[in-house]
Structures are given as structure tokens and as C-alpha cells.
């Protein structure tokens, strides 16, 4: 379990170097949770219009459904009776009904009806996971109680923005290698052609959050960098905040534009990581504004952001974590690895689950 400060934030004393001249010991690979307790992108809310949605993610068999009252529920999909798949059942009122024997489960996971029985056993219940519907997308937390609210860009409100359809790709490395990029100052120059004006500014702005900020010149020769310099500006202020190790919110403030996006990381069973990138644009109040900002503008943001990140992934191959190879230039990244290793994983991974 993670060491926590009184307010629930990971203890900052465990993620700071006492002496700048002394290199911290990077954690062993076994210290990282396979599936950290955090928020994960589950899918599009539109998919629920066709009925219960089945998902296999993080070693879990899940079903998501919308009740007749409009509430979205995510629970273990294997019926506590004989393990039938609830995603093949149907929604009845606010319950989901098992296709095998007609057992019905309420949004809290408790069985509310067993045909031809008046008494329902206490064990007849499903594990229910916290879920948030935002910008037409479904996010769930892989524990019964979320450790922190579903994050968004710091100082911004979700209702003020619209989101583009996610751009998805798979990185051939672990989730903590992907999220460590925000604290790897060397790669900003070699991979992204960014010249930093100074060292990274790193802090913890909220519980279970770690942030990196820097100012840089855009020097790249790729088409998106050339267009950025011409239309947005040649210098950018970047803020990267990692939440629970799996949600990364990023804002880039240029002279004439601001880029905002989120990266949702999902560890896969083969050690790779699925990356879903969601670009945001300010919500417009006029017809003309919606036509541009929420269509053309959002499309441009999605195109640039996706190209930028996919190009990075394709250029790196299959990087692997090696704590013994890290050097003094990796100090901020080592601190990040220490922070990420303190994040907890699920204490159990039940096939049926109990509330």
C-alpha cells in the first residue's frame, strides 16, 4: 500500500531527493503495480444504446449498462450464481437480468430477484465499480471506492470543453515507462525537438497527482512543428500532470493558441500499454463558434496531437525499464519512478466479487 500524507496525498518526503548530489535508488521492477488503482477509459457512452456493454480489461470481466432511469453502472459480468455472462442479459428497469437463470442485480450489485424464491442469499451480489460519464465517454475506477475524483486539466472545468473522438495506439512498454515521459527532460530534445529554457519544475498539486512544467522552443522539422511555429508560436509553456499513473493531462500554451489533451493508459496482459488520446476544445456558445471550434478546430487538435504522440511511439521501438542503467541526468525520472512505485494495485481481483 502507498505511504500517504494526512490529506491522502502520497508522502512528498518519499519522492524528493534529500541531497541534489546523491542519485536516488530507482525501484525494482517488481515494485510497480501491474494494474494501479486509478481511473481507466472503458469506452463510448453511445455503445450503451445497443444494450449491455462487455469489456475485458485489467484482468477483469466487466459489464456496463444504462438503467431505465439513465444511470450508468459498471459491475463484474460473471453472475455470482454460476458465472454466466451478464452482458448477454438484458436491462429490466434499473437492474440487469442474467440470461441463464433470470437473477436480477441492482445498481449496488445486490441481487434483487431470483425466480421462484422469496429469500435471496447474502452472497448473491456483484462487485460494482465507480463510473463517470464525461464528454460522451465512460471512465471507471478499478476499486470499490475511488482514491481520487476523475481528473481533468488543472484550473479548467470539463463542462467548458468538448472532446474529440480518442486517437488510440499501443505502446510496446509498461504503463510506468509511458507515463515517465513527462519527467524525462532528455527525450524532449532528442525525440520532440524541444529546447528547454531551464530545468523541469516538478510538484504534487493534488492527492495522487504529480506535475511537470517547463518552457521550450519548438525546433522540429516535422510538418506539425512547422505549422505550430507559423500559426501558434515558436515557444510553448507545457504542463503535464500524471494522476494515479494512468491518466495524464497536458496543456501547451503557445503565443496564439492553447493545446489541451488527456492520455488514458491501460496496461495490457502482454506488458504493453494501450494509449487513448483525447483532445479538447473550448465549448462555443454561437452557431459559428460551434461550427469551427467544435468541428474544424477539434479535428485539427486531434490530428496534431495524435501525430505528435504516435510519431514518438513509433520512433522508440520497445523501451524497457532498467533501474541499474539510470544516471544523474535521469534524476527527475527516477523520482517519478519512486512515486509511481508507491501507487497501490488492487488487493484482490475477484471473478465474482462481494460488495
CATH code at position 92: 2.102.10.10
Give the dihedral of Cα atoms 46, 49, 51, 53; nearest 10 deg.
10
137 and 169 in a single domain? The answer is no
Low-confidence ranges of the chain (pLDDT < 70): 1-22, 286-312, 315, 347-355
Domain boundary among 96, 112, 141: 141
Amino acid 4: pLDDT = 39
Residues of the domain holding 130: 39-141
Specify the 3-state DSSP secondary structure of 237. strand
Amino acid 284: pLDDT = 76
pTM of the model: 0.87
Q: Are 89 and 97 within 8 A, CB to CB?
A: yes
123 and 251 in a single domain? The answer is no
In a domain, 51, yes or no: yes
Amino acid 225: pLDDT = 83
The grid coordinates of residue 350 equal: 475477484
Amino acid 13: pLDDT = 37
Amino acid 188: pLDDT = 87
Helix and strand tally (H, E) in the chain?
Answer: 6, 20
302 and 197 in a single domain? The answer is yes
328 and 183 in a single domain? The answer is yes
**CA-closest candidate to residue 62, choices 71, 70, 53:** 53
**What CA–CA distance (Å, rounded) separates 40 from 172?**
18
Amino acid 269: pLDDT = 94
Amino acid 295: pLDDT = 64
224 and 79 in a single domain? The answer is no
132 and 178 in a single domain? The answer is no
Amino acid at each position: 500500500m502507498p505511504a500517504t500524507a494526512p490529506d491522502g496525498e502520497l508522502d512528498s518526503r518519499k519522492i524528493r531527493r534529500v541531497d541534489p548530489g546523491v542519485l536516488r535508488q530507482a525501484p525494482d521492477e517488481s515494485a510497480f503495480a501491474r494494474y494501479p488503482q486509478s481511473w481507466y477509459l472503458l469506452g463510448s457512452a453511445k455503445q450503451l444504446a445497443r444494450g449491455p456493454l462487455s469489456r475485458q480489461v485489467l484482468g477483469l470481466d466487466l459489464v456496463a449498462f444504462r438503467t431505465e432511469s439513465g444511470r450508468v453502472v459498471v459491475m463484474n459480468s460473471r453472475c455470482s450464481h454460476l458465472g454466466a455472462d451478464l452482458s448477454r442479459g438484458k436491462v429490466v428497469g434499473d437492474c440487469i437480468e442474467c440470461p441463464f437463470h433470470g437473477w436480477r442485480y441492482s445498481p449496488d450489485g445486490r441481487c434483487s430477484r431470483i425466480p421462484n424464491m422469496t429469500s435471496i442469499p447474502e452472497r448473491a451480489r456483484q462487485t460494482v465499480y465507480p463510473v463517470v460519464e464525461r464528454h460522451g465517454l465512460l471512465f471507471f475506477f478499478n476499486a470499490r471506492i475511488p482514491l481520487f475524483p476523475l481528473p481533468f486539466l488543472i484550473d479548467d472545468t470539463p463542462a467548458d470543453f468538448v472532446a474529440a473522438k480518442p486517437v488510440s495506439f499501443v505502446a510496446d512498454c509498461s504503463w510506468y515507462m509511458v507515463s515517465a515521459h513527462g519527467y524525462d527532460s532528455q527525450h524532449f530534445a532528442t525525440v520532440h525537438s524541444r529546447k528547454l529554457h531551464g530545468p523541469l519544475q516538478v510538484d504534487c498539486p493534488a492527492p495522487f497527482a504529480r506535475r511537470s512544467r517547463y518552457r521550450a522552443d519548438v525546433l522540429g522539422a516535422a510538418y506539425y512543428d512547422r505549422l505550430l511555429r507559423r500559426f501558434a508560436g515558436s515557444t510553448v509553456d507545457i504542463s503535464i500532470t500524471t494522476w494515479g499513473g494512468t491518466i495524464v493531462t497536458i496543456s501547451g500554451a503557445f503565443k496564439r493558441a492553447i493545446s489541451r489533451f488527456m492520455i488514458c493508459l491501460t496496461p495490457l496482459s502482454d506488458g504493453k500499454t494501450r494509449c487513448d488520446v483525447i483532445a479538447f476544445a473550448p465549448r462555443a456558445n454561437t452557431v459559428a463558434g460551434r461550427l469551427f471550434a467544435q468541428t474544424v478546430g477539434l479535428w485539427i487538435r486531434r490530428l496534431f496531437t495524435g501525430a505528435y504522440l504516435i510519431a514518438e511511439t513509433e520512433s522508440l521501438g520497445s523501451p524497457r525499464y532498467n533501474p541499474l542503467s539510470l544516471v544523474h541526468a535521469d534524476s527527475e525520472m527516477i523520482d517519478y519512478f519512486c512515486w509511481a512505485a508507491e501507487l497501490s494495485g488492487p488487493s484482490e481481483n475477484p471473478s465474482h466479487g462481494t460488495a
